[in-house]
Amino acid sequence: MDIVIDLQPVTDFLNLPIDQLLLTSLYYVGWIPLAATFIWGVIQVWLRYIRLAYGASENTVLLAIDIPRGNAQTPKAVENIFSYLAGAHSTHDLYEKWWLGMWQLYFSFEIVSIEGYIQFLIWTPEKYRYLVDAAIYSQYPDAEITEVNDYTEGFPVHFPDDQYDIFGGEFKLVEDSVYPIKTYKYFEHLMGEPETQYKDPMATLMDLMSSLKRGEQLWYQILVIPISSDWSMAGDEEVKRIIGEKSGKKNWIDNIADWLINLMGQFSEMIYQLWGDIEEKKKEEKEAQFRMMNLKPRQKKQVEEIQEKVGKLGFGVKIRYVYVARKEAINKNKVTYGLVGYMKQFNFNDLNSYKPDIGDRGTVTKVKYDRLFGQLRVNYRKTKVMLAYKYRSDVRGRAPHILNTEELASIWHFPAEASVKAPLIQKAPGRKAEPPSSLPVIKENVAKELAGGGRLISEGIFNLAGGASLRGPETKVKHEPPGNLPVV
């Protein structure tokens, strides 16, 4: 049985004048991409609407974390905190995602300096409040956790402004997220006294923040988004690429090619009649032995470090900073160069490194423009940066990159007091001890002490625009008082 294919209609179509050819193509198939684009746009608008509604329904709290004086713990304790917070990761089915608008909630780990006074903060959904409490107390039993006012309130979000000016932006990784940055273990050495053998990289940031003058503030924010462990597969693929091993990952082009090959096999007789005898040839791949022995030292280091990174829990991460100051007190050069220098401590030239995001997507405020409407663009970007920081947005700016728990603990942790001497870091009054058994008990004084809040904080330190304070009279200690509270 002979198969005859009539190509005359195709030939006639191609021989049409160019204008008729385009109109005919648009009539039969041209509406398909337009319809697909319209449907995609409707879906995105719907998703944005329901996700905003879901986000507005979730209450959030801002917690001030004060660790005891004399802290000697390394960032390993904070790494354990991040590992515990990975329990907040959740998955959603189609109904929850496409109808209820549910998405993965996240945390914001922040450090703020207000006129040189430094405070460590954690912004969290209220449903995760006690998860955060448990994570902190498990590593720092004598820490104090207090719910406080949002320090960003009272500042302008649209620029230019008569009183304030800002500079800010995001940091991004130079290489792919599977390549690690330098972590805290590289800041340890064996010289000197035991308590000084760890050179805390946080010392430079604390020194910068404590140097701010009246009218200056510096805000440092790290969004921490729980994710699944699927990201580690990208590290495996990168290792295969480095050592020259064939990747098992297939994209949509590979899948289509496999489908076509299978189809050709099923209709081999038809293919033979149409195209003639096709001789199937199998290419035998001979893997090179001892690949690791043939790698260069840099490649060996990359393979080892990538495998070590993907072996730990990972989070989606966005790093922002905002420097806001009164116009008569602003000093952008000191803060910008100092913060970039702090982040460069974690750079590996042969692995990964951080740099300010100065791309065309407007995630960094540029001071000068030599193009038309340059100052308008500067003010527009200042507004975008301020809004992104204020609302702790995970969608504004660059897409999140991935850090594991060790990397996160390196760039955000409570400083070791032996290495960091910044005098204005807020700390808990000190370690609490059990009262002696012979101490008289007066219940009335205990009630008055508990009613007072039990927190020694100066009300005048956190003065914000408009007269609001970070720790105002409405501030409440949300956790139960410790059981070893001294009894008088």
Cα separation of 152 and 154, whole Å? 6
The residues with which 218 forms a beta bridge, in sequence order, are 113, 323
The total of other beta-carbon atoms located within 10 Å of residue 128's CB is 21
Cα separation of 193 and 173, whole Å? 35
Torsion sign, CA atoms 458, 223, 420, 341: negative
Residue 365: how many CA atoms within 13 Å on its side-chain side? Answer: 28
Q: Report which DSSP code applies to 168.
A: E
What contacts 243, CB < 8 A, 6 or more positions away?
291, 292, 295, 299, 303
Cα–Cα distances in angstroms (integers) from residue 439 to residues 319, 428, 435, 436, 481, in the given order: 50, 24, 7, 6, 20
Residue-wise pLDDT tens for the chain (488 aa)? 567 676 777 777 777 788 777 787 777 777 788 889 999 999 999 998 998 889 888 999 999 999 887 777 888 999 999 999 999 998 888 888 888 889 899 999 999 999 989 999 999 999 999 999 999 999 999 899 999 999 999 898 888 888 999 988 899 999 999 999 999 988 877 665 655 667 888 889 999 999 999 999 999 999 999 999 889 898 888 888 888 776 656 565 666 666 666 666 665 555 444 444 444 444 444 454 566 667 788 888 888 999 999 999 999 999 999 999 998 888 888 888 999 999 999 999 889 999 988 754 444 444 445 466 677 888 888 899 999 999 999 988 888 999 999 999 999 999 877 666 656 566 666 555 455 555 555 444 434 443 444 333 333 334 444 434 455 434 333 444 444 444 43
pLDDT at 454: 39
Of 218, 61, 219, whose CA–CA distance to 148 is shortest?
A: 61
Cα separation of 394 and 401, whole Å? 11
Cα separation of 112 and 65, whole Å? 12
Of 426, 419, 422, whose CA–CA distance to 206 is shortest?
A: 422
pLDDT at 194: 56
Of 294, 320, 312, whose CA–CA distance to 83 is shortest?
A: 312
Distance separating the N- and C-terminal Cα atoms of the chain: 106
Cα separation of 254 and 34, whole Å? 27
